[in-house]
Structure 1
Amino acid sequence: MESVKEKILDNLYKQLKTKNHIIGVATGSGLTAKYAEQGGADFILALSSGRFRQMGVSSLAGFMPYANSNSVVMDFALKELLPVIKKIPTIFGLFATDPTINLEAYIKKIQDHGFAGINNYPTLGLIDGDFREALEEQGISYQREVEAIRIASQRGLFTVAFVFNESQAKAMLQAGADIICVHLGLTTGGILGAKQIQSLQSAKRIAIAIFSVCNQFNRPVIKMVYGGPVNKPIDVQFMYDGTDINGYIGGSVFERIPAEQLIMKITKSFKQTYDVKYEEFMQKIINGFSSKQDYIAFIKDYISTHYMEQITLNDLASILNLSRTYLSTLFKGEMGISFVNYLINFRLNRAIEIMYEKDLPFSTISEMVGYPNYTQFSKIFKKRYGLSPKQYKKQTLGQNKRT
């Protein structure tokens, strides 16, 4: 007879064989879990940080002595998750370094209560510096999290291991982890700017390096990513492209959505679709560039969307994996104008359009087109048009009225 763990793995590998990706939802409430299950999530992680998110508190509260993390998870998961989640497994987020518990006894308790497995969260992997060293000197170390995964695996529980580097991945694999999930840090947000793209590229490199360790083992393991800059479906697609990553675990990206229908919709979107709001730029990066014109078109599109933000050729060169010198020469050769002058022209033309559209202070217009320093804006404007912005508007408005 198949064990619970074997059934879970059979279901997950069947999905992978049909080209589906695995989705895990880290939650702190029955509401989120219920609608995530209906939306197509493959498993639920019960985490103390999820509970704190439901209280309107930062996920980091799960690391603080405001409450006992394991008691928090046991309390809400028994009341809210296990009674309503029937079709997919619920995984217990175990704070393995809690010095007040006996790991073997507590993991048996978790199993006896009906949880399908464990995950090592909160994890010391998110702590570094002097505090991390002090904890490890007292025996409070990541190795205890590895030991928890080993005990749970031996007991036939399903195990999801958060790892932060290659050595931790190797240790978790040796302990019997069923899923190796590269934890990329607390989830970050923001619009798709140069820094966001660079963060995604860096995250992808980290994940590939860590998962290379998994490929050296002689048994199958499911590879997933969590957190960091990966917070939209198109980000997840970027991580999948050209890699053997099998899935994604999300916490904040699902937990922050308050309405039932939206929870269903966003869970489905991570399984099936992209966020069209910034899909275009990311899709170009995913697909690659086949000609010089593709690079130039990308830069022009990027400027037209992000002209109000700080833009440098260095950032764009990093995004496109080209040298700054080559990109500068390429742009000038194709456009007949330097990148800097093209950007200045675009911003000043947009500033002139705003002058006519709205009666705003010139300092506000300056900020709207990417110049937070009005003195710099005025100086550049006067050098280009021979008049200050105020003089230019007064003169050209007068000419327009006469015509």
Structure 2
Amino acid sequence: MNKREIWKKLKKQLKANQHLIGVAAGSGLTGRYAEKGGADFILALSSGKFRQMGVSSLAGYLPFSNSNEIVMDFGLKELLPIIKNIPIIFGLMATDPTIDLKSYIALIKEKGFAGINNYPTIGLIDGKYREALEEADISYDKEVEAISIANGLDLFTVAFVFNKTQAIQMTKAGADVICVHFGLTKGGMLGAKYVQTLQSAKNLATEIFEECQKINPNIIKMIYGGPVSKPVDVQFMYNGTDIHGYIGGSVFERIPSEQAILHVTQSFKQTNDIKYEQLIQRIIDGFNTQKEYIDFVKKYISLHYNEEITLHELAGMLGLSRPYLSLLFKTEVGISFRDYLIDYRINRAIEILKEKKVPLTIVSEMVGYPDYAQFSKIFKKRTGMSPKEYVKTNINP
């Protein structure tokens, strides 16, 4: 596929209100079934190959192997021969000091890849190590240069960015897709422990895309990684934004493999207790289960308890009706959404009172009750005493 054909196909999807999906693959098996499942393009990344080996994606950043050689090898052997209907994008380590960037990108095109993506990216590295790399001219600027060269060679380009400055650079360099990279994907057995919250990720993406839009109104806007690891997370990111799509690696390759292999192996070990077909169905359904919806609501409350929260708003985020979410929450949790929210806020207020000396009116606002009279009334109903009495009895006896 040439760049014009790719653009035409992706824009057709967007006009039909279909969000775009990119799959970062490390094997022909992943690529084949991602294509069958409706993926719009494949990213061939060295970290994908390491995932297939059962190790962390971060191995793609360490000197175990040459990243570009890995991608070229499995891309030519496993992806290009079997994937014919969607573009394959080469994950290029543009900062490799042993290659001539322009010549290597020309080689990528000659071998049949439809475009490039800046990965492994220096954007995931910070601190003193990042400073040392920059001093050695191993910098994000090299990645911007690679996107510009590829654009000049009529290759389709997918740019990972981490902030507004990088997004502006990549947009000006001619990137076709700006993908906000939120960091390593959580979930599964190899996921990163620290991730951004969904709301902060959404805010970051919105700010970055606003800048891109000013330069190129036709830019394709996508997101990757971090806290976005389930369909419900992606839907949350789409709601109220003009994000065009999602790119995933671990969520399509590592996490499903971990779950399927683990549980299927257990099913054969315990053939008298577990029916294989039922088990597979539970695995398939497990990516959008009722529990996941409720976990999302609980997580949202834990992050936004000090703001106005309504069940109607949350139902809209999840694409559910308010009555259904209300029934689902009470069934799963045992109490109503309203009672859960009140209990959470009052318990948090008690924690604040125990931690520090804060005026009660401020505590009231901190837990989502700008009206102190309302807070005092609810507090007394839950604890049997007013906030003042509680402090006097339990904090300053």
TM-score (norm 1): 0.70
For residue 279 of structure 1, what is the aligned residue in structure 2?
Answer: 293
Taking a change above 3 Å as real, the CA distance of residues 238 and 83 of structure 1, as seen in their structure-2 partners, is same
Report the count of equivalent residues: 318
Percent identical pairs in the alignment equals 57
| Contact kept? 1:241, 1:286, Cα under 8 Å | no
Aligned-pair distance for 1:276? 3.4
Aligned to 2:274: none
Q: Quickly say closer, same or farther: Cα 1:326–1:178, change in 2 above 3 A.
A: same
Equivalent in 125, 128, 142 of residue 127 of structure 1: 125
Q: Which secondary structure does the structure 1 equivalent of 2:172 belong to?
A: helix
Gaps of 5+ in 1: 316-321, 342-382, 384-403
2:138 to 130, 137, 140: 140
Contact 1:90 1:117 in 2 (8 A): yes
How far the C-alpha of 1:333 sits from its partner, in A, is: 3.9
Query: d(CA) in 1 for partners of 2:51 and 2:97?
Result: 25
Structure 1 position 212 matched with structure 2 position 213 = no
Q: What is the deviation of 1:324?
A: 1.6
Q: Report how far residue 215 of structure 1 moved.
A: 1.5
TM-superposed CA distance for 1:274, in Å, is 4.6
- Residue 337 (structure 1) aligns with: 381
3-state SS, counterpart of residue 326 of structure 1: coil
Residue in 2 aligned with 1:70? 68
**Conserved 8 A contact 1:150-1:176:** yes
- 1:298 positional shift: 3.2
Q: How does 1:370-385 map to 2 (within 5 A)?
A: none
Q: Does 1:48 align with 2:46?
A: yes
1:284-323 alignment runs, 5 A limit: 284-285=313-314, 287=316, 297-298=336-337, 300-301=339-340, 312=348, 323=366
Give 1:26's match in structure 2, choosing from 10, 24, 27: 24
**How far, CA to CA, are the matches of 2:84 and 2:341 in structure 1?**
46
**Partner Cα separation in structure 1 for residue 48 and residue 195 of structure 2:** 27
Q: Using a 3 Å threshold, how does the CA distance of structure 1 residues 196 and 328 change in structure 2: closer, same or farther? A: farther
Q: Give CA-to-partner distance per residue, 1:227-251, whole Å, 9 cap, x none.
A: 0000000000111111111100000
* Paired AA for residue 326 in structure 1: Y
**Which secondary structure state, in structure 2, belongs to the residue aligned with residue 85 of structure 1?**
coil
Is contact 1:28–1:52 with CA below 8 Å preserved after alignment?
yes
Structure having greater relative contact order (Cα 8 Å, sep ≥ 6): 1
Q: Indicate how the Cα distance of structure 1 residues 202 and 48 shifts in structure 2: closer, same or farther if over 3 A, else same.
A: same
Q: d(CA) in 2 for partners of 1:15 and 1:278?
A: 28
For 1:253, what is the secondary structure of its paired residue? coil
Alpha-carbon contact 2:348-2:367 (below 8 Å) kept: no
Of structures 1 and 2, the larger Rg is shown by: 1
1:332, 1:338 within 8 Å by CA — same for their partners in 2? no
Task: Give, in angstroms, the shift of residue 312 of structure 1.
Answer: 3.7
SS at match of 1:146: helix
Question: CA, structure 1 residues 158+285, in 2 after alignment: closer, same or farther (shift >3 Å)?
Answer: same
Shift of 1:89: 0.5
- Tell me: CA distance 1:131–1:233, structure 2 relative to 1, closer, same or farther (3 Å): same
Cα gap change, 1:332/1:247 in structure 2, threshold over 3 Å: closer, same or farther?
farther
- The CA deviation at 1:214 is 1.3
With 203-212 and 322-331 compared, the bigger mean Cα shift is at 322-331
Q: 1:165 to 1:332 in 2, by over 3 A?
A: same
Match of 2:272 in 1: none
Cα distance in 2 between the residues matched to 1:198 and 1:26: 21
Query: Aligned to 1:324, which of 345, 352, 367?
Result: 367
**Separation in structure 2 between the aligned mates of residue 339 and residue 10 of structure 1, nearest angstrom:** 62
Residue aligning to 1:241: 239
Superposition pairs of residues 345-356 of structure 1, within 5 angstroms = none
Assess, with a 3 A threshold, how the Cα gap between structure 1 residues 164 and 198 changes in structure 2: closer, same or farther.
Answer: closer
Structure 1 partner of 2:219: 221
**C-alpha root-mean-square deviation of aligned residues, in Å?**
3.7
Task: Tell me which residue corresponds to 1:39.
Answer: 37
Q: Structure 1 CA distance, aligned partners of 2:195 and 2:226?
A: 12
Q: Please give the per-residue CA displacement for 1:56-88, whole angstroms capped at 9, x wherever unaligned.
A: 010000000000000011111111011111111
Change (3 A) 1:113 1:64: same
Amino acid at match of 2:291: K
Residue 176 in structure 1 maps to residue 183 in structure 2: no
Matched letter for residue 199 of structure 1: T
In structure 2, what is the equivalent of residue 155 of structure 1? 153
Residues in 1 aligned to 2:212 and 2:102: alpha-carbon distance in whole angstroms: 26
Paired amino acid for 2:215: F
Q: TM-score, normalised by structure 2?
A: 0.71
Where do 1:110-125 residues align within 5 Å? 110-125=108-123
CA distance change for structure 1 residues 14 and 62 in 2, over 3 Å: closer, same or farther? same
Q: Deviations over 1:82-116 (max 9, x none)?
A: 11111111000000000000011000110001000
**Distance in 1 of aligned mates of 2:338 and 2:240:** 23
Segments of structure 2 that go 5 or more residues without pairing to the other structure are: 265-276, 301-310, 327-334, 352-364, 386-393
Q: Does 1:96 align with 2:55?
A: no
Question: Which secondary structure state, in structure 2, belongs to the residue aligned with residue 51 of structure 1?
Answer: helix
Asked if 2 retains the 8 angstrom alpha-carbon contact of 1:331 and 1:338, the reply is: no
Seen in structure 2, the aligned counterparts of structure 1 residues 299 and 110 have a Cα distance that, compared at 3 Å, is farther
* Inter-partner Cα distance in structure 2 for 1:302 and 1:47: 43
Post-superposition CA distance 1:262-315 (Å, at most 9, x none): 9xx99x99xxx954332242785363799xxx9x953534699x9xxxx74699
Provide, for residues 38-73 of structure 1, a one-character-per-residue CA deviation record: whole Å limited to 9, x for no partner. 111110000000000000010000000000000011
Rounded to whole Å, the distance in 2 between the matches of 1:211 and 1:145 is: 19
